[in-house]
Every structure is written in structure tokens, then in C-alpha cells.
């Protein structure tokens, strides 16, 4: 039973990381943050989002 909850926790944490990457990408687009200010854990995902949006930094 505990492995089930562990799997659920991993799924939900992954979703939260993606949401935070979107938040940081939005802040970069608005000029409030730079890619250098993004935590290392999120940098790759944020860069992918910015690339998909064709945003020049």
C-alpha cells in the first residue's frame, strides 16, 4: 500500500514541477525574471517551454 502512495506522490510532484516551470517561463516572458534566476532543477524544463514559444532571451 505504501508503494502506491509513493507512486502517487511522484506523479503529483512531477505535475507541480511542470507548473512551476510554466510559472517561471511566464515571468521570463513578462520580463520579471531571467533564466539565470530559475532554480537548477527547473532550468531545463523552463528552457524547453521558452524554446517552444520561440522566446528570445
In this prediction the pTM is 0.74
* Domain total of the chain: 1
Residues 6+ away with beta carbon under 8 Å from 3: none
pLDDT digits (tens, 9 = 90+) for 14-53: 677 788 899 999 999 999 999 999 999 899 999 999 999 9
Domain range holding 22? 2-52
Give the Cα separation of 11 and 28 in Å (integer).
Answer: 26
Residue 34 located in a structural domain: yes
Residue 13 located in a structural domain: yes
Long-range contacts of 36-43 (CB under 8 A, 24+ apart): 41/17, 42/17
pLDDT at 30: 94
Amino acid at each position: 500500500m505504501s508503494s502506491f502512495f509513493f507512486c502517487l506522490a511522484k506523479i503529483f510532484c512531477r505535475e507541480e514541477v511542470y507548473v512551476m516551470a510554466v510559472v517561471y517561463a511566464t515571468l521570463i516572458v513578462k520580463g520579471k525574471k531571467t533564466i539565470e534566476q530559475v532554480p537548477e532543477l527547473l532550468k531545463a524544463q523552463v528552457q524547453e517551454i521558452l524554446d517552444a514559444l520561440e522566446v528570445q532571451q
